Amino acid sequence: MPKTCRVHAISLGCPKNRVDTETALGGLPFSHVLVDAPEKADLVVINTCAFIAPAVEESVNVILETAEALRALSPRPKLAVMGCLPARFGEELRKGMPEVDIWGTPSELDALPGRLAEALGETPAAPMGRIASTPPSYAYLKIAEGCDHACRYCTIPSLRGGLVSRPAESLVAEARGLLERGASELVLVAQDVTAYGRDLGMREGLKQLLEKLLPLTGLKWLRLLYLYPSGVTESLLSFLAGAGRPFLPYFDIPFQHVHPEVLAAMARPKSAAAEAVVERVRRHFPEAALRSTFIVGLPGEKKEHFQALLDFVARARLHHLGVFPYHREEGTAAASMAGQVRRDVKERRVETVMAVQREISADILETYVGTDQEVLVDAAHGEWPGLHLGRCWFQAPEIDGVTYVSGPGVAPGAMVAATVEEAKDYDLVALA
């Protein structure tokens, strides 16, 4: 009997990174099993994020802490680090972290499993295929890599390269596999899902892909994450409105700012004003749940620019909102721009926006109290027997609030009918 290698994986950053981790593990050409702690492993794989300074700091700390935990073991497990951190700081990391045995950048993802096998001296076997690490209820489907936009604050194109869309046939096959393993919800992710297919010469590529995915057996919910405002067109919205379920009218549109002077400084893709995009979505989907992200404190952001953003948040009344202070990232055009905003000012602006959003979120969630909703159950609560963590259609996994649900038939992976009993600032309580 061949030895079964014990593997522990740590995936940092966004859902796109998680898909890369699952793909790398599923591609290992030898017999292996996942374990829940690095000390139990023969191989530890850390997939890193390096989008902004806090992500870099977290990635470095996790590597150092893991290496320290492994140092005293004999034999010491092999340590592999992949992802955006080695892509951004490759040679510097290799010299500064001799504890790491194997490095891999996003562009080396296909070759990484073979390199891991070679480093471990493992006997080749058939790869298992992508290993889902999400709860049984949902899975991510990464439809494209990289980005062709040139936003001045962003490191993604330098780390991940330009847009590379995956062939529709391979996406459909992967989606079928995820659904056959029990997922009820597919969450499509890319840096900009509306750009899907442009590099392949496709017009309205996302629509063509969705026409193949929406009829798949077992698919109950389909959610799109990261739709650039420039891609939220009348044509796309008309198509989605006609498609109906399993498409969810949940729109994650990263506006990043609303003032035209700040958007120009960011070099964001040309689009209609944020208010017009929101109105366009709500005209096609009056019940739509909208999420967005904003960056405050970009160099040159003045009080009046920030006030325009704050006024928009108050008027638009989005379901969900993420607000981040601008981080001066080496290698980006914005790093050398004049008018850098003080850190305390940026942090205060974040707090101001989120205080307004907290009230909006609480008000919106209150409207669901007393209503019957489908709840997709993700996991059992770790402390309260019988209580589970789930989500209604307007709650995306990992980034939005949750619905605490209990009652007959409630179990991980189940879709249950439940009545919303209580609303909090960001979460709901429901009874099946």
Residues 408-417 have pLDDT tens digits of: 999 999 999 9
**307/359 same-domain check:** yes
Furthest C-alpha separation in the chain: 70
CATH number at residue 379: 2.40.50.140
**365-383 core/surface letters (b: 16 or more CB in 10 A; e: else):** beebeeeebebbbbebeee
**281/182 same-domain check:** yes
Q: Could you tell me if residue 405 is inside a domain?
A: yes
Of 70, 89, 120, which residue is a domain's last? 120
Long-range contacts of 62-67 (CB under 8 A, 24+ apart): 62/10, 62/12, 63/97, 63/99, 63/100, 64/97, 66/10, 66/38, 67/97, 67/99, 67/100
In the chain, how many domains are there?
A: 3
**145/215 same-domain check:** yes
Q: Could you tell me if residue 125 is inside a domain?
A: no
Q: What percent of the chain has pLDDT over 70?
A: 100
For the residues 420-430, what does the mean pLDDT come to? Answer: 95
Residues of the domain holding 417: 372-431
Q: Could you tell me if residue 410 is inside a domain?
A: yes
Of 120, 154, 176, which residue is a domain's last? 120
Q: Are strands 388-391 and 403-406 parallel, antiparallel or unpaired?
A: antiparallel
**188/75 same-domain check:** no
Q: H-helix or E-strand containing 82?
A: strand 78-83
CATH number at residue 115: 3.40.50.12160
Q: Could you tell me if residue 131 is inside a domain?
A: no
CATH number at residue 204: 3.80.30.20
**321/362 same-domain check:** yes
**67-81 core/surface letters (b: 16 or more CB in 10 A; e: else):** beebeeeeeebbbbb
Q: Residues 6 or more apart from 391 whose CB is under 8 A from it?
A: 375, 376, 378, 397, 400, 402, 403
Q: Distance between the two ends of the chain, CA-based, in angstroms? A: 47
**pLDDT digits over 45-86, tens only?**
999 999 999 999 999 999 999 999 999 899 999 999 999 999
Q: Which of 225, 226, 308, 307 is nearest to 274 (CA)?
A: 308
Q: Could you tell me if residue 184 is inside a domain?
A: yes
Q: Could you tell me if residue 358 is inside a domain?
A: yes
Q: Could you tell me if residue 411 is inside a domain?
A: yes
**174/266 same-domain check:** yes
**359/387 same-domain check:** no
pLDDT at 316 over 90: yes
**pLDDT digits over 107-116, tens only?**
999 899 999 9
Q: Could you tell me if residue 133 is inside a domain?
A: no
**110/166 same-domain check:** no
Hey, what amino acid is at 149?
H
**166/273 same-domain check:** yes
Q: What is the pLDDT of residue 4?
A: 87
**87/210 same-domain check:** no
Q: Which of 327, 330, 397 is nearest to 185 (CA)?
A: 397
**45/14 same-domain check:** yes
**171/78 same-domain check:** no
Q: Do the beta carbons of residue 292 and residue 255 sit within 8 Å? A: yes
